[in-house]
Amino acid sequence: MTLFDNDVPAEERLWCLILALIPSRHGMSKQEIFETVRGYREDYLTKGATDALNKKFDRDKDELKSMGIPLTTSDTENPADAVYSISESDYEALTFTAAEVSLLTAASAVWRESAHSNDAREAKMKLLAADVDGDSDLVEYAPRIDTRDTAYPVIADALTSGSDLTFPYLKPGQAKPELRRVSPLALAIYDGRWHLLAFDHDRDAERTFLLRRIVGKVQKSGPATVTPDLRAGTAFAKHLMDLWSSLAATVRVKPNTKAAVALANREGTTVDGDLYTVHYLDEAVFADELCEYGAEAIVLEPQSLRDAVIARLERLAADHG
């Protein structure tokens, strides 16, 4: 058994390429496609950008165009600098509904997460540490995306069928959940967790919900009263990306520990000695993670995150004191 299955059917490779390019706001370079898209990634990681791989990509571009997919190539003096994209203005040519575009964006995010997640990096480290060969059984090392959010199937179905939803939602710091009445607009996965963008009818505004905080049954409550914009999924994914970039903590990390490995491999982390600048999306979720590391990771700033970690550790000590 080998780590990568190089025999990816052409139809699957083309579909993965479409999934990659549709939600990509600024397009992707050929190298980015080779590094991340299934069907190219397997060959690229084992053999590099060979002539055969480049010819395969050229054939796929022609095939997509012959199918009516509006694949465009940026004008550059150096062909290696070209960026490939499916223009937002041509989305309607693909006859996707707004809900379908949102789900395509979510599917693309799953692919991106599986290629770049902490689990993938951890799997690579395990392989290097174990010094395994190509004939070894590597099933146990395969990175997986967490799909245990029981709310996901109903929400995804509501997006495609056009339905409003109700569900109990427990915000950080609250003792009891609140019943939320929403029209779902988009789903996206970021930092390994599913997020829902929805119009909250009780608050008369759009809100973001972390699916793991939905603590009861999700129910359809009738036809959707607010429908998503065609590019809602793309905009939501970009919002989460921008939010991640804007939130950063300074953490003093003990070298050669679980915390050092995990935090160094988070997207955007910079390391200066034992000081790590680490990005996060949700303060409560990140505080929970940091508590797992104990004295291996000490938050210096922001103060709100430091206080959140201290409060959790104090509760843990009180419960087990």
Per-residue pLDDT tens for 93-128?
A: 555 666 666 666 666 566 555 544 444 444 444 444
The angle that helices 118-130 and 98-116 make with each other, rounded to 10 degrees, is 30
Contact 190, 117 (CB under 8 A): no
Q: What is the pLDDT of residue 162?
A: 92
The CATH architecture to which 1-95 belongs is Orthogonal Bundle (1.10)
Angle, CA 109 vertex, CA 209 and CA 205 arms, to 5°: 25
CA–CA dist 282, 204 (Å, integer): 23
Q: ω before 168 within 30° of 0 (cis)?
A: no
Q: What is the pLDDT of residue 88?
A: 56
Please name which of 175, 184, 299 lies closest in space to residue 233, comparing C-alpha atoms.
184
Q: What is the CATH number of domain 152-237?
A: 2.30.30
Q: What is the pLDDT of residue 136?
A: 40
**pTM for the model:** 0.60
Q: Which two tokens stand for residue 111?
A: 């692919």
Residue boundaries of the structural domains of the chain: 1-95, 152-237, 247-320
CA–CA dist 97, 18 (Å, integer): 16
Over residues 124-171, the pLDDT tens digits come to: 444 444 444 444 443 333 334 444 578 988 998 898 889 999 999 999
Could you tell me the sign of the dihedral formed by the alpha carbons of 309, 311, 314, 318, in that order? Answer: negative
Identify how many contiguous H helices and E strands the chain contains and give both numbers: 11, 12
Q: What is the pLDDT of residue 134?
A: 41
Beta bridge partners, 198, equal: 184, 207
- Work out whether strand 28-29 and strand 83-86 pair parallel, antiparallel, or are unpaired: antiparallel
Beta bridge partners, 28, equal: 84
- DSSP class of residue 237? H
Count other Cβ atoms within 10 Å, centred on residue 121: 16
User: Tens-of-pLDDT digits for all 321 residues of the chain?
Assistant: 333 445 677 777 888 888 788 766 678 889 889 988 888 888 888 888 899 999 999 998 888 887 777 788 888 777 778 898 876 555 445 556 666 666 666 665 665 555 444 444 444 444 444 444 444 443 333 334 444 578 988 998 898 889 999 999 999 888 899 999 999 999 888 887 889 999 999 999 999 999 999 999 999 999 999 988 877 887 888 899 899 999 999 999 999 999 999 999 888 899 999 999 999 999 999 999 999 999 999 999 999 999 999 999 998 888 776
Count other Cβ atoms within 10 Å, centred on residue 24: 20
Q: What is the pLDDT of residue 273?
A: 95
What 224-228 contacts at long range (C-beta under 8 Å, 24+ apart), as own/partner pairs, is 224/158, 224/162, 224/163, 224/164, 224/183, 224/184, 225/164, 225/183, 225/201, 226/183, 226/185, 226/199, 227/98, 227/162, 227/183, 228/98, 228/99, 228/102, 228/159, 228/184, 228/185, 228/186
